[in-house]
Structure 1
Amino acid sequence: MLERFFEKTMKAYLLGTGFLTATAFMTFLAPEWSMQNLFFYNEAMMENKEYLQATYQHWGVMVGCIGVLLMFSAKYKQLRTSTMIYSAFEKSMFVGLFLYNICVNEYSWFYGWSGVFALDGFVIVYSLVYLYYYLTRDKSKTPAHLR
């Protein structure tokens, strides 16, 4: 059942999550616009933006490149294993940071990053279910991500 599911969804998953992840390039190209319109930073939060602008831009490039890599791996199967592992790891780090900043630090402003949290949470769930499939699959067949 899972094998068929991943056979049918793998390319769409890689293209869809790749495209959405690549939108992080907006934070590199237009950091001020992104922080205000995508992550809902208010004027007070933007007051010292020059101190953090390079950090946000760096994040935008790194995450944007992961998105491009995810989209490339939809076509180039040999990239899929490493890309999926790296993507799941990077996204799990963000989910952890999001939960920590919301639950422990109680930073209500961090809710502006809820869209990123939702996408990254989806990637983690998909990756964990895929890991379960991969470990329990029929080893005589080529794994779904390489088909």
Structure 2
Amino acid sequence: MLERFFEKTIYPYLMVTGFLTATAFITFIAPEWSMSNLFFYNGQMMENSIYLKATYQHWGVMVGCIGVLLMVSAKVKSLRTSTMIYSAFEKAMFVGLFLYNVCINDYQWFYGWSGVFVLDGFVTLYSFTYLYYYLTRDKSKAPVHLR
């Protein structure tokens, strides 16, 4: 069942989530704009944004590159497993940070990152399900990501 599911969905998954993830390059190009308009930082939060500008730009490049890697792995099948593993853990880390900051720290401002949470939550679920399939698949057949 999982084999058929991934056979049908892996290419569109990698292209769509890769593109959406690559939009993080906006934060590299225009960090102030993205902090205000995408992540809903208010004026008080933006007062010290100059100190965090390089951090947000670094995040934008790092995550944007993961998006490009996801799209490239849609075409270069030999990259798929390592890309899926890397993106799964990177995105799961953000999901954990989001939940921790919203539920434990009660940082209301972190809700501005809800869009990233939704995308990363989906990627985490899909990727870990894929990894489960990959580890438990019938080893006598070529894995679905190489077909």
TM-score (norm 1): 0.97
Residue 101 (structure 1) aligns with: 101
For the pair 1:45 / 2:50, whether they are aligned, the reply is no
Residue 85 (structure 2) aligns with: 85
Residue 25 (structure 2) aligns with: 25
Task: Tell me how many residue pairs correspond in the alignment.
Answer: 147
Q: Which amino acid aligns with 2:128?
A: L
Q: Which amino acid aligns with 1:20?
A: L
Tell me by how many angstroms 1:136 deviates.
2.3
What does residue range 1-147 of structure 1 map to in structure 2 within 5 Å?
Answer: 1-147=1-147
Once the two structures are superposed, what CA deviation does each residue of 1:20-62 show, in whole Å capped at 9, x if it has no partner?
0000000000001101111011111101110000000000000
Tell me by how many angstroms 1:127 deviates.
1.2
User: Following TM superposition, where does structure 1 have runs of at least 4 consecutive aligned residues deviating by more than 2 angstroms?
Assistant: none
Tell me by how many angstroms 1:134 deviates.
1.7
The CA distance in 2 between the partners of 1:135 and 1:90, in whole Å, is 19
- The secondary structure found in structure 2 opposite 1:115 is helix
- The secondary structure found in structure 2 opposite 1:142 is coil
Identity %: 81
- The secondary structure found in structure 1 opposite 2:39 is coil
Unaligned runs of 5+ in 2: none
The CA distance in 1 between the partners of 2:71 and 2:18, in whole Å, is 5
Provide the aligned C-alpha RMSD in A. 0.8
Tell me by how many angstroms 1:145 deviates.
1.3
Whether the 8 Å CA contact 2:91–2:120 is kept in 1: the answer is: yes
